[in-house]
Structure 1
Amino acid sequence: MGNKFLEGNFAPVSREHTVTELSVTGRIPDFLDGRYLRNGPNPLSEVDPAAYHWFMGDGMVHGVRLRDGKAEWYRNRWVRNPAVAATLAGQDPSRFCGMETLGANTNVIGHAGKTIALVEAGAPIYELTDELDTVGRCDFDGTLPGGYTAHPKRDPRTGELHAVSYFFGMGNKVQYSVIDAEGRVRRTVDVEVAGSPMMHDFSLTEKHVVFYDLPVTFNAGMAVATGVPSALRTPAKLVVSAMVGKVRVPDPVTAMMARKFGPNSGLPYRWDPKYPARVGVMPREGGNGDVRWFDVEPCYVFHPLNAYDDGDSIVLEVVRHPKMFDRELHGPDEGSPTLDRWTVDLPAGKVVEERLDDRGQEFPRVDERLVGRRHRYGYAVAVDGGAGPGGALLKHDFHTGSSEERAFGAGRQPGEFVFVPCHEDAAEDDGVLMGFVHDPATQRSELTLLDAGTLETVAAIHLPDRVPNGFHGNWVESA
């Protein structure tokens, strides 16, 4: 059985590289001093195409170091959880099970002097060195045990990381957390939701936290089918079905459910048409009792572009998928994702939904200096269906309602692009956009730098290998 999430540029690469002589076309701006890092799934061992889900592959971080107008190195490294470390050492990884076998494969950030590879759903996250070698599990100096999220938001004013984390073992709760600029948890809040949703991301404004409680939920039948011995599947499914969405799942059951999670286990989350679709709004310093819920049309949102307060309303700009994991169980591909605006009218108690752009797009980004604040520009990657990259980068101007499209030509496929201002007080599109572009003709990728104002190429750093289609990355400026 074929699996498109193992084919073409979804296929994993088999080598780790350290390259200190990189060919560059164009000129790397002198103001860039740091590392562009990007994370994604890259299975180390052979996987079963019939069972493999794109989200479950071992994590691999790719990085390019830029300084003084030069590209100093390119490195790619597997994130060494216990199973990956054992495999690379020629040892049997089968003694490891459960959450410690899941790859930290979704995002990579810099915070409080650390480089951190992120994943969600209760799996461990990992600290890396500046050169991308694995240091070990990260729990923010012991202040946040358990899992975290793939999508924290940094408040540009305070430098704090805000996050919403989910895990099926928490039952009908998700956890909002704030990590201070020194890397320690300042506050956590457990928020009750309608069941056990996959809450991949959230939104932050200057005054509010916004939760996306949408109908992709933990599926006990799928989890039991892959993680529990056949003789125990029926009672395990009954127990977990009764508990998920009502109370925290007991630790022994959680351990049993998680025992065989990994690249060949599939993703235990499915579209649930009976689950409500809604957004929750909580004041930043509020608690569970302060959350207000607002219904929206059934859909799924992996990624908001940004959000901001507007008088008595909250504006959410999101990439909206019509469904997720209903028919396609190997990765996102349930209809074209569109750029929509949801305006939460707090006095009226309703959400007004409107379409901004009906072209397929994903991986939306905004100038990080404007997270939670009114913005003018946003960037997204054109996609073919729900997951496959198209050949263009989209730049949206929310003041004029217009957009520009930068194509890369000849089948070349861009991944997520991030914006880096040319200096701290630069205008919103005065800087560069950077991201990996794959060329199927050469089977290699390059780190492409675009002028954010014109979308013209500033420089291209040519890499020795492919960077497979992956998820998220960031520019981590040198201290």
Structure 2
Amino acid sequence: MAGQGRRTETPGNPYLRGLFAPVREEVDARDLEVTGRIPAGLDGRFLRNGPNPLNIEEPAAYHWFQGPGMVHGVRLRDGRAEDIRWLEVEPCFVFHPMNAYEDGPGLLTVHLVRYDRLFAARDSHGPDEVPPRLVRWTVDLVAATVREDGLDERAVEFPRIDPRRETGAHRYGYGVLEPEGGYAGDRARRHLLSPTEPAPGLSQVGVGIVKFDLERGRSETHPFHPDGDVGEAVFVPRAGGSGEDDGWLLTYVFDPDRGATDLVVLAAQDVGGEPVARVHLPVRVPVGFHGNWVPDASAVDGMASPSAI
């Protein structure tokens, strides 16, 4: 566990009182008491990220989504409950990891999109004070250290991989290329400061799709219309294919010339090439977040299993 039960309450703001009130101490506990019996095979970690708003400059203006946070976790193993091991990193904000996997004895590799800060005080520069970057964390469990290496200087978000590779070693990753300065940059800052007066140009999340070759340190980009919008790209393996990038990327792309959205299919092995297909929707799909591919049963039967990759 990372925090304990004593609450520090601030009158006046419901998000700082009662069960919403922050805790001030971090706690490591071993061999936690268990009532009943933890099911056999239920081995892993239960993690929950949430707010823990300490030292808020303007308590009356605080909202649940702002300020510092805290992660609480419990490790279940061999019918016992115990604390999780915690390692320190430079303070940052992470919405979306790309993948994480064991990379040798005592080593973990994590690819993720990192913000220096997000949802800071109202007089800060907002969510894109420094645009989000793709980085790699190398976690050394023996030395209890985390090394960070920047992988790309461009602003990217919504990282994805071949889902058959999740929690295992992977070579390729995909992301949404954001407008210069981030998905909103100074426009988002002005909008946050004056939400009743939307800033001009606060209208898009992405302008392209990027394929990262994390093994060779290369990338390939498919740009779309600069006045359009591009959503998260979902990788779909080709039926019968076993290569990590043997498949397609599907994403919604707004076409300003039509005033409507296309479902665009890109070949994952040729991201920079022309789309394999564009499905022309009769409407505009609003800017949004995540998607997934749900294959028909017959398509699932034809896909290579993870053991075959």
Whether the TM-score (by the shorter chain) exceeds 0.5 is yes
Report deviation, 1:322. Answer: 0.8
Structure 1 counterpart of 2:2, from 190, 193, 199: 193
**Deviation, structure 1 residue 399:** 1.4
Deviation of residue 401 (structure 1)? Answer: 0.7
Give the aligned partner of residue 233 of structure 2: 417
Contact 2:3/2:72, CA 8 A, preserved across alignment: no
**In 2, Cα distance between equivalents of 1:396 and 1:281:** 34
Q: Deviations over 1:311-332 (max 9, x none)?
A: 1201000100111111469x94
**Alpha-carbon deviation of 1:239?**
3.5
Against the structure 1 CA distance between its residues 375 and 282, is the aligned structure 2 distance closer, same or farther, given a 3 Å change threshold?
A: farther
Kindly indicate whether the alpha-carbon contact (under 8 Å) linking 2:97 and 2:159 is maintained by their aligned counterparts in 1.
yes
Q: Which of 306, 321, 324 does residue 118 from structure 2 map onto?
A: 324
Residue pair 1:332, 1:387 contacting (<8 A) in 2 also: no
Give the match for residue 443 of structure 1. Answer: 259
Q: Secondary structure at the match of 1:476?
A: coil
Query: Residues of 2 paired with 1:336 and 1:398: CA distance?
Result: 20
Partner in structure 2 of residue 57 of structure 1: none
1:461 CA displacement: 0.2
| Corresponding residue of 1:34 | none
Instruction: Name the Cα RMSD after superposition.
Output: 3.4
Please report how far the alpha carbon of residue 413 of structure 1 lies from its aligned counterpart in structure 2 after TM superposition. 1.9
C-alpha deviation, 1:358, in angstroms? 1.6
Name the stretch that deviates more: 233-242 or 465-474: 233-242
What's 1:313 paired with?
107
Alignment pair present for 1:395 and 2:211: yes
Give the corresponding residue for 2:292: 474
- The answer as to 2:233 corresponding to 1:233 is no
Aligned residues: 235
Q: 2:171 aligns with which of 364, 376, 395?
A: 376
CA–CA distance in structure 2, aligned partners of residues 355 and 286 of structure 1: 39
Q: Would you say 1:460 and 2:281 are equivalent positions?
A: no
1:298 aligns with 2:107: no
For residue 82 of structure 2, give the secondary structure of its aligned residue in structure 1: helix
Q: Which stretch has the larger CA shift, 469-478 or 285-294? A: 285-294
Corresponding residue for residue 269 of structure 1 = 65
Is 2:132 the counterpart of 1:337?
Answer: yes
| Structure 2 SS opposite 1:293 | coil
* Separation in structure 1 between the aligned mates of residue 15 and residue 74 of structure 2, nearest angstrom: 34
Contact 1:220 1:268 in 2 (8 A): no
Higher strand fraction (1 or 2)? 1
Distance of 2:182 and 2:82 partners within structure 1: 36
Structure 2 CA distance for partners of 1:316 and 1:234, relative to 1, 3 Å:
closer
- Distance in 1, matches of 2:246 and 2:277, equals 16
Q: Which amino acid aligns with 1:422?
A: R
Question: Any idea what SS the aligned residue of 1:295 has?
Answer: coil
Instruction: Describe the superposition over 1:239-267 as per-residue Cα deviations: whole angstroms up to 9, x where unpaired.
Output: 44656577xxxxxxxxxxxxxxxxxx995
Q: Quick one: distance in 1 between partners of 2:258 and 2:112?
A: 34
Q: CA deviation at 1:387?
A: 3.6
CA deviation vs aligned residue, 1:141-181 (integer Å, no higher than 9, x gap): xxxxxxxxxxxxxxxxxxxxxxxxxxxxxxxxxxxxxxxxx
SS at match of 1:461: strand
Distance 1:281 1:373, change over 3 A: farther
Provide, for residues 104-162 of structure 1, a one-character-per-residue CA deviation record: whole Å limited to 9, x for no partner: xxxxxxxxxxxxxxxxxxxxxxxxxxxxxxxxxxxxxxxxxxxxxxxxxxxxxxxxxxx
Task: State the alpha-carbon separation in 1 of the partners of residues 256 and 3 from structure 2.
Answer: 44
Displacement after TM superposition at 1:465 (Å): 1.0
Deviation of residue 340 (structure 1)? Answer: 0.5
Q: TM-score, normalised by structure 2?
A: 0.66
Unaligned runs of 5+ in 1: 1-191, 197-218, 222-231, 247-264
Please, which moves more after superposition, 453-462 or 278-287? 278-287
- What residue identity is the alignment partner of 1:403? S
Note the C-alpha offset of 1:283. Answer: 7.8
- 1:123 aligns with none
Percentage identity across aligned positions? 42
Alignment of structure 1 residues 53-452 onto 2, 5 Å = 192-194=1-3, 233=12, 237-240=16-19, 242=21, 268-272=64-68, 289-311=82-104, 312-327=106-121, 332-384=127-179, 385-388=181-184, 389-452=205-268
For residues 194 and 323 of structure 1, do their structure 2 counterparts lie closer, same or farther at Cα, with a shift above 3 Å needed? farther
Q: CA deviation at 1:411?
A: 2.2
1:468–1:289 Cα change, 3 Å:
same
Give the aligned partner of residue 13 of structure 1.
none
Report how far residue 390 of structure 1 moved.
Answer: 3.2
d(CA) in 1 for partners of 2:161, 2:79: 26
Amino acid in structure 1 at the alignment position of 2:91: P
Asked if 2 retains the 8 angstrom alpha-carbon contact of 1:281 and 1:293, the reply is no
Larger RCO, structures 1/2 (Cα 8 Å, 6+ apart):
1
SS in structure 1 opposite 2:12? helix
Change (3 A) 1:478 1:285: farther
Q: In 2 relative to 1, CA 438–347 (structure 1 residues): closer, same or farther, beyond 3 Å?
A: same
Helix, strand or coil for the counterpart of 1:271? Answer: coil
Contact 2:211 2:220 in 1 (8 A): yes
**Per-residue deviation at 1:237?**
3.8
Closer, same or farther in 2 for the Cα pair 1:332/1:422, shift >3 Å?
same
